[in-house]
Amino acid sequence: MLPKVSIGELEVSCLGYGCYGVGGAYGAKDPSVWEGLIRKAFDLGITLFDVAEAYGSAEEILGRAVAPFRDQVVIASKVGVGPSGERDASRGRVLEACQASLRRLGADRIDLYQIHFDDPKTPIAETVGALEELRSQGKIREYGVGHLPFERVKEYCEIGRSASVLFELSAVARASTRDILPFLGQRAAAGKGPVGLAFSPTGRGLLTGAIGPDTKFDQGDIRSLDWLFRGAKRASGLRVRDRLAEIGARLGKTPAQVAIAWVLAQPGVRVALTGPSRAEHLEENVGAVGWEFPGRELSDLEAFLTAEDQRVRAESLAAAEDILAKPLRQEADAAYQDLIFAMETAAELGKVAEADVIGLVTTMIKVRRETGGRYDPRLEELREELGRLVGEASRCV
């Protein structure tokens, strides 16, 4: 069985199952396939299942799948996106959304309820008050925070009793090692929570060996827009994958197993969330647990990743500046891909505030939804606004 760890008063497996794909993020699948995978995950020792109200039908699918063993697993869900896609963590929205999630899950409680995205309009004290209210009513057992700017994460931890912080972490997405993980380490040293839950440890499949330089994704696959699969980022990811494969060959492990083990070896990480869509990949991921990452291999890999970070940052910044310097391409997919890449690069490199980028991304998603993915002049307006924000930030330095 998988080792158990604590999230507040909850005991869970150190490997969790993330249900982002269950909601169709990587393309549609028959719900019965997902239900079978979730049950297989439980059979393999996974007891934490992470879902969200924003994941389409994922809550219903998860609820049906775990019904036979509901009391033996921990369900984590999320709130924070309103009906029209706006960020909303107001008291009324949190209370209403929790009740709706309970109905979809067919459950009487959510074990870990997380704030999915930041809502700068709502005071954190109001949101925490709603979470404490739900806890006192027995509708949730613990609560935590997710995709929030670092300063807001700290504020949630100071005002409330967050049991967890959810963040992306992989050998190709290491931004959290610069702020979130040191913060969690400081809190732990002081005998305080929260603990870290890392998602996408294999870089949404980039580190598994299944994706190459020319791999194409269907339009319904979110990776068709994901900046990890663009230009310098993809090239860097493939170099990192090859390095993980070299390590795996010496240790008798696959690149995916080495990638997950690296995440679990990071101080402050308590759980790694993976969400494979095939049973053999689920079994492979479980094989990432139960062995020790040799210290020399770990330190050598860290030096390689640091050098790779510096290289890809310079290359990505040059590519983003090129996108911002001229009008977007008129072909819809290319325009969306370029815009996402420029936004994500500007945020990761600190060229604009994360809250500003979130606002731009929200607008872009709304445009994409309204147009069915077609090109729209508003995309050019977003590019110009991003360029203005970057320019203002540069002048302030």
Distance CA 83, CA 157 (A): 27
Residue 58 falls inside a structural domain: yes
Distance CA 240, CA 100 (A): 41
pTM of the model: 0.90
Give CA separation, 368 vs 230, 372, 375, in Å: 19, 6, 8
Residue 383 falls inside a structural domain: no
Note the pLDDT of residue 27: 84
Angle in degrees, CA 150, 144, 103, rounded to 5: 135
Specify whether the CB–CB gap between 35 and 69 falls below 8 A: no
> How many other C-beta atoms lie within 10 A of the C-beta of residue 255?
25
The parent domain of residue 47 ranges over 4-212+251-293
Note the pLDDT of residue 393: 64
CATH number, position 200: 3.20.20.100
Residue 196 falls inside a structural domain: yes
Strands (E), 264-375: 269-274
Residue 139 falls inside a structural domain: yes
Tell me which residue of 348, 311, 342, 312 sits closest to 178, measured CA to CA: 348
Distance CA 271, CA 81 (A): 24
Q: Give strand pairing partners of 199.
A: 168, 273
Residue 314 falls inside a structural domain: no
Specify whether the CB–CB gap between 271 and 48 falls below 8 A: yes
Note the pLDDT of residue 43: 98
Note the pLDDT of residue 396: 57
Residue 129 falls inside a structural domain: yes
Residue 309 falls inside a structural domain: no
Distance CA 80, CA 124 (A): 12
Q: What is the DSSP pairing of strand 10-13 with strand 4-7?
A: antiparallel
- Number of separate domains in the chain: 1
> How many other C-beta atoms lie within 10 A of the C-beta of residue 224?
18
- For the chain (length 397 residues), average pLDDT per consecutive 10? 95 97 87 96 98 94 98 97 83 97 98 95 97 98 94 95 97 94 94 95 95 88 86 93 97 97 95 96 97 94 96 91 94 91 89 85 88 93 94 66
Residue 364 falls inside a structural domain: no
Burial of 394 (0-12, 13-18, 19+ CB in 10 A): exposed
CA atoms within 13 A on the CB side of 314: 5
Note the pLDDT of residue 358: 81
326: left (phi over 0), alpha (psi -120 to 50) or beta: beta
